[in-house]
Amino acid sequence: MNNILLAQINPIVGNLDYNYEKISSSLDYATANNADLTIFSELALFGSPVLDLLIKYPRLLAHSSEYIKKIEQLSQNTPFLCGFCECANPDDNTCYNSLGFFADGKLKKVIRKSILPFKDEFFDGRSFVSYPFEPDDRIIEFKDKRFFVLFSNEIFNSDIVNSACNLSPDYVICVASFISRTHRNEVLNSALNQISQSLKARVLFVNQTGATDSFVTYGQSRVINNGKIVAQARAFDEDNLIFNTSGDKNRIEQSPDSTFLMQDLFNLDYDADLERIYGTVKLGIKDYFSKNNFKTAVLGLSGGLDSTVCAVLLADVLGPNNVIGVSMPSSITSKESKDDAGCLAKNLGINFYQVPIGQMTQASSVTFDDAFEKIELNRSQKRVQGSLTFDNIQARSRAMILWGISNEFSSALPIATSDKSELYMGYATINGDMSGSFAPICDITKTKLFALGRWLNKNSQFKDAIPQSVLTKPPGAELAINPDTGKPLTAEEALMPYEFLDEVIWRIEVKKQDLDSMLDDKFIYETKNKLDKDTKKAWLNKFYKRLSTSTFKGSLMPPGVICDYASINKCVSLMPITAKFIL
C-alpha cells in the first residue's frame, strides 16, 4: 500500500451519467499515478444532498442500481471505494446511504450509514433508512491493511468512534459531503484529529466539492496523522490528491489546531473567515449557473454595497462579459450613486447600461393614483399616511426591467442582492430588490459585507475595482428622502447602526441569546461606542418587532448561498411564518 487517491469530485445530483464519467476519469488518474486504492466521497455516484429527489422519483433508484453495475466494471483495473444510494426494500422504495468496496470488477463489500442526520442543512433522514451499527461490518481488509469506515457526521458520535478501538484499524476512512459554514472546518479538524490519536490510525477524510442550490460542499479532503494534516486537497474545487503512505511527496498543510476552545471560535472576528466566504459564494454562484445551464447574470447596479459586491463576485465567476449591470436611476438617485455604479462597471469590464425608470414610475404613479382614489372612495379603509407605495414603485420597476432582460436575452438570470442584515429586518422590497432567481449574499451580514468588499479590492482578480466611496458611504435604499436631513434616508437612520444590528444577529444565531440576556450582557458594540440603556432597549425592541414580520418576507425570497454559522435561509431554517412568540 504505497499510494491512496482521495478523489474529490463535483457531481450533479441525480445525473448518474455525468457522475459516472467523473468517477471513471478519476480512476484513470489513479491508474496513471499508481494508486493502490481510490476513495470517493459520500454518495459520489448519486450526488449529495439528495433532498426528496428519490422520494418523488423512486425510478431513480433502479437507475442508480444499473450504474452501480457499470462502475463495478471500472474496478477491473483499480480498486476503489465509492458512495451510492442502495435500494433497501424495493416494495417501499427505502434506501441506504452506502459505500461500496469495488475490486477485480466486483462489488466486494457494502457498508451502510447508521446515523442519519436531519437538522440544519441535513435531510438524510428523509430519504434514507438507518442500518444497524456493528463495528465489524465497518472493516475493509485490503493488502494487509485494515480500514474502518465512517460516514460524515458519524465522526461526532463517540460511541461509534470508540467501538473501533478494539479493531485496531490502520486507517479510518471518513466519506462526507459537508457544506461550508463558519468554523465548520476547525470543528471537523478537531474531531478528525481526536480520532486519529485515540485509534492511533491515519484518518482519510474525503469530502464532496460542489454546490446544489443553497448547499456548497467544499472539498478540502485530507489525511490526518498523529495531530497533523499530512496531505490536503484544494477547497472549493475538484482535486485528485495522491497520499503517499511512506510520507514523502505529499502536499503538506498546517497542523490542525487541536487546542482551541469552542467558545473562542464563535466570536465576531470574521476577518480570518473572508477567504472562506469568498470561496463558498463563488462556488455557489458557479454551480447554480453552470449546472442549471445559465450563462449570464443581470443585476441592478445602484452604486450601493450589496449590488457592488454581487457584481464583483459574478464577474469573477462568470467572466465580465457574462455580467450585465444596469443602472436604473430615478429622480431620487444621487449623482454619486450613478457615478459609483458606472465606475465599478468600468473597473470590472462588465456590460453596463443606464436605463432611467422615470417613464415607468411616472406611468405607474398615474395609474396608481387613479386606482387608489377609486378604492378610497368605495371602501371604508383609508390609505396609509406616508406609505411606502411610491418609494417601492422604483424598486419594482427595476425588478421588472431585470426580468424583462432575462426574458429577452435567453439564459440571463436576474440576481437578488439582499443581504442577511436586511433580510432579518425585512428591509427590502417584495418584487423589488428581493426579486431575482438567486441570492448570492443572503447569508452575509452588512458589516461582514463591508469587510468582504475591502478584501475583494485587495485579493480578487479585480484589484481596487470597488470605488472607495462605496466602502465608506452609509448604506441606504435611496427610495425616499429623510425629511430631517433633506438627503436620501440611510438604512441606519431607518433601522439602527449595522454594527449593533449584526451583533444581535450573531448573539441569536451563535450564542442563542434572547432579549433579556442581551439586555443584561455587554455588547462588543458598547465597548467601542457610547450607548445608554434606553437606546439599547429601543433598538432591541425594534429588532424583535421587525423580526416578527421578516419571516413572512423571507418566505418570498429566492434560494441563495448558505455560508454562515447559522442561516435565515428558508432552505435550511424551516421557520413557521404563522407563529407568535415572546422572547
Q: Report the site for its own copies in 513-532 (rule: CB under 8 A).
A: 514
Comparing CB distances to its own copies, the nearer of 408 and 532 is 408
**Part in contact with its own copies (CB under 8 A); list of ranges 122-130, 463-471, 473-481, 496-504:** 122-130
Closer of 105 and 125 to its own copies (Cβ): 125
Closest by Cα among 69, 218, 206 to 149: 206
The interface with its own copies within residues 6-65 (CB under 8 A) comprises: 12-18, 47, 49-53, 55-60, 63
Applying CB under 8 A, among 32, 262, 375, 481 the residue interacting with its own copies is: 375
409 binds its own copies (CB under 8 A): yes
Task: Report the amino acid identity of residue 575.
Answer: M
Name which of 17 and 134 has its Cβ closer to its own copies. Answer: 17
Q: How far is the CB of 335 from its own copies (least distance, A)?
A: 21
Nearer to its own copies, 3 or 157 (CB): 157
> Helix 305-318 crosses helix 446-459 at what angle (to 10 degrees)?
40
DSSP category for residue 438: B
**Which of the ranges 97-105, 286-294, 307-315, 527-535 carries the binding residues for its own copies, by CB under 8 A?**
286-294
Q: From residue 202, how far is each of 139, 213, 413 by CA, in Å? A: 14, 34, 45
User: Which grid cell is 320?
Assistant: 465580465
Regarding 363 and contact with its own copies (CB under 8 A), the answer is yes
Question: Least distance (Å) from its own copies to the CB of residue 64?
Answer: 10
Q: Which of 370, 464, 468, 469 binds its own copies (CB under 8 A)?
A: 370
Nearer Cβ to its own copies (77/517): 517
Query: Which of these segments, 168-176, 334-342, 478-486, 571-579, binds its own copies (CB under 8 A)?
Result: 571-579
| Member of 410, 458, 522, 532 binding its own copies (CB under 8 A) | 410
Cβ at position 411, least distance to its own copies in Å: 8
User: In the complex, what is the shortest distance from the CB of residue 126 to its own copies, in angstroms, rounded to a whole number?
Assistant: 5
Please list every residue from 192 through 231 that binds its own copies, using CB under 8 A: 211-213
d(CA 190, CA 193): 5
**Cβ 100 vs Cβ 91: under 8 Å:** no
Binding its own copies (rule: CB under 8 A), the pick from 309, 357, 561, 562 is 357
Alpha carbon distances (Å) from 229 to 71, 190, 569: 31, 11, 33
Based on the shown chain and the rule CB under 8 A, indicate whether residue 381 belongs to the binding site for its own copies.
yes
Q: Within positions 311 to 330, which residues make up the interface with its own copies, using CB under 8 A? A: 324, 326
Q: Which of 111, 110, 116, 117 is nearest to 129 (CA)?
A: 116
Nearest to 175 by CA among 148, 137, 213, 135: 148
Give the full edge-to-edge strand order of the sheet including 351-354.
Answer: 351-354, 323-327, 296-300, 412-414
Give min distance, CB of 101 to its own copies, in A: 26
Strand-pair category, 202-207 with 139-142: unpaired
Minimum CB distance to its own copies smaller for 1 or for 355: 355
| Burial class of residue 355 in the structure, from the number of CB atoms within 10 Å of its CB (0-12 exposed, 13-18 middle, 19+ buried) | middle
Question: Among 27, 172, 360, 451, which residue sits at the site for its own copies (rule: CB under 8 A)?
Answer: 360
Determine contact, residues 433/417, Cβ cutoff 8 Å.
yes
Query: Length of the chain, please?
Result: 583
H helix and E strand count, the chain? 20, 18
